[in-house]
Structure formats: structure tokens, C-alpha cells
């Protein structure tokens, strides 16, 4: 296991090439091409702004709500898309796996990194909306104009790379585990799609973490690893005055993510020799 793990940096050129190929393949035949990497976040923010301003009773406790939602939704999209794609990555890349010298773990890693690039490309769009809302007064549902409720502090942004790194480690560990198990248990792909839906609603993305008013609900949120990622993004980007309030949970999740990564890689390495026969 350790020898295979130590050999991974030697394949960074191959990983970069496969990530670039994956990103190009997503937009092949599209008239706008890579523009959709920027266009999708803009449309996402626009859709949620319309829905939560005109089709549903406006949220008065969190304003602007659509922006708050996207601070958690963009990282979740990276996480969920990576797990869905990596679960099928070994089956889809069967021809590559059958090559003797090809390291199979590269395939789920490429899925995670390709979706991370999509996430990073969306951050400047989100930053633009954050800057806009930080300088423009908000008109409430009653027509009352209030001061901007989004504050940006550069000091808190230093935590953002750490949050991204922890999410990368956690997602990669789960991706390795799921990709290895799916080769032998194909039902995991269908179970995973439904499990991720449940996981989404069990994570404080469409609601605030502070609504946990019962011990059972608080315990459920605390043991959910993505809770601490979502809250960290929200506190750094949307509530920067509370950015340091979640740092101990974040560091604990970082340690747990490293353990999950090694556990996922261990399972992957144990099943490695059976992949070529099954796919």
C-alpha cells in the first residue's frame, strides 16, 4: 500500500492530462464550451434568487438567502458529483485498468480533481456576487431598504484554502472506497444517488446550522462530516465575523479526513488485483 501511495506523485503528468481531457469531454460539442464553467454558477445564483424572492415567502432571517445557499451548494456540488462519477470510474475505464502498468487509483482521483477545478472556476463568480451584496443595500420584502448584510474581511479568507484542502482529502478517500466497492457491488451506484439526496438535506446548506434546537438534531449535524465543511464555507464567505468559531470542528474533520483517506486507499489497494477480472 505504502509503495503504491508513494508512487502516485510520479503520475502527476498523467493525472493532469486526464483531468484536462475530462474537462474538455464535458463540453465537447457545446457552442459555449468552457464558458459553462463560469455560466453554470451564474445561472445557479440567478435561479435561486428568482425562486426565493418571487416564488416562495422570502427568508427574513438570512439575507440574501440565495447567496447564503450557494456558499454551501457549490462545495456540495463538487462533493456529490465527485462521488457519483468516481463510483463508476473504474467500470468506465476498464480498458485502462487492464493495462499492466496503469495505476487504477488515478481514475477516481481524476474525477475528484476535475470537479474541484469546476468548483474553483465558480469561486470568482461567487466572489463577484459577494462583493456586490457587500456594497449594495438590500431591499426587504416589505420594501424597507437596509444596510448591506454581507461583510468581507480578507483576514478570514486565509482559512479558505485549508477548507478546500480538507474537502479534497475527504472526497478523495470516499471516492477511492466507493470506486473499489462498486466494481464488485454494482448496486452501490443506485444506492449512492439516493443516499446523497438524504445527505444533502441532513446538511445545513438550505438552512442555518444555528437552527439545531434539540440535542438529537445537533448530534446528527455534529457527526455529519459535510456539516463542518458547509458551515466553514458559510462562516468564511457569508458570515466572516464568525469564521474562527468553527475552527476546532474543522481541524477535527481534517484529522478524520486523513484517516478516511488512508482507510479508503487501503480498501482500494486490497481489491486492486481483482479489478481487471471483474470489469
**How far is it, in rounded angstroms, from Cα 176 to Cα 165?**
17
pLDDT digits (tens, 9 = 90+) for 187-228: 888 899 999 999 999 999 888 887 777 788 888 888 999 999
Query: Do 96 and 102 touch, CB atoms closer than 8 A?
Result: yes
The closest alpha carbon to 72, from 261, 158, 201, belongs to 201
**How far is it, in rounded angstroms, from Cα 278 to Cα 270?**
14
Query: Do 265 and 5 touch, CB atoms closer than 8 A?
Result: yes
pLDDT digits (tens, 9 = 90+) for 21-68: 888 887 776 666 667 777 777 787 778 778 777 777 766 667 777 788
CA angle 213, 77, 252 (to 5 degrees): 55
Scan for cell 468564511, then name that residue. 236
How many Cα atoms within 13 Å fall on the side-chain side of residue 102? Answer: 16
pLDDT digits (tens, 9 = 90+) for 134-187: 777 665 555 555 555 666 666 677 888 999 999 999 999 999 999 999 988 888
Determine the distance from the C-alpha atom of residue 183 to the mean position of all C-alpha atoms in its chain, rounded to a whole number. Answer: 23
- The residue length of the chain stands at 279
Contacts for 98 with CB less than 8 Å, ≥ 6 apart: 276, 279
Using the Cα atoms of residue 49, residue 28, residue 20 and residue 4 in order, give the sign of their dihedral.
positive
- Phi, psi of 169, deg, nearest 5: -65, -45
What is the percent of the chain where pLDDT is above 90?
30
pLDDT digits (tens, 9 = 90+) for 79-106: 999 999 999 888 877 777 776 677 888 9
Looking at the DSSP assignment, which residues form a beta bridge with residue 138? 146
**How far is it, in rounded angstroms, from Cα 220 to Cα 198?**
13
DSSP string across 175-198? HHHHHHHHHH-TTHHHHHHHHHHH
Amino acid at each position: 500500500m505504502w509503495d503504491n501511495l508513494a508512487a502516485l506523485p510520479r503520475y502527476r503528468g498523467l493525472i493532469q492530462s486526464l483531468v484536462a481531457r475530462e474537462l474538455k469531454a464535458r463540453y465537447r460539442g457545446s457552442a459555449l464550451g468552457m464558458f459553462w464553467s463560469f455560466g453554470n454558477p451564474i445561472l445557479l445564483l440567478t435561479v435561486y434568487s428568482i425562486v426565493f424572492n418571487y416564488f416562495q415567502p422570502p427568508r427574513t432571517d438570512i439575507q440574501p438567502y440565495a447567496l447564503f445557499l450557494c456558499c454551501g451548494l457549490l462545495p456540495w456540488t463538487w462533493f456529490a458529483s465527485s462521488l457519483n462519477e468516481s463510483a463508476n470510474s473504474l467500470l468506465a475505464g476498464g480498458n485502462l485498468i487492464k493495462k499492466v502498468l496503469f495505476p487504477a487509483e488515478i481514475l477516481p482521483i481524476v474525477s475528484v480533481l476535475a470537479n474541484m477545478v469546476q468548483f474553483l472556476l465558480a469561486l470568482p463568480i461567487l466572489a463577484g456576487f459577494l462583493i456586490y451584496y457587500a456594497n449594495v443595500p438590500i431591499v426587504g420584502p416589505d420594501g424597507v431598504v437596509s444596510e448591506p448584510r454581507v461583510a468581507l474581511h480578507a483576514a478570514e479568507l486565509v482559512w479558505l484554502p485549508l477548507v478546500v484542502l480538507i474537502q479534497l482529502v475527504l472526497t478523495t478517500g470516499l471516492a477511492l472506497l466507493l470506486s473499489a466497492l462498486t466494481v464488485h457491488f454494482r448496486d452501490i451506484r443506485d444506492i449512492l444517488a439516493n443516499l446523497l439526496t438524504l445527505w444533502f438535506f441532513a446538511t445545513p446548506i438550505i438552512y442555518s446550522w444555528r437552527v439545531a434546537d434539540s440535542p438529537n438534531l445537533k448530534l446528527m449535524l455534529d457527526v455529519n462530516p459535510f456539516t463542518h465543511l458547509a458551515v466553514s464555507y458559510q462562516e468564511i464567505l457569508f458570515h466572516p465575523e464568525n469564521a474562527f468559531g468553527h475552527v476546532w470542528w474543522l481541524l477535527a474533520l481534517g484529522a478524520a479526513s486523513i484517516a478516511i483517506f488512508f482507510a479508503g486507499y487501503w480498501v482500494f489497494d486490497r481489491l486492486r488485483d481483482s479489478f481487471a477480472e471483474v470489469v
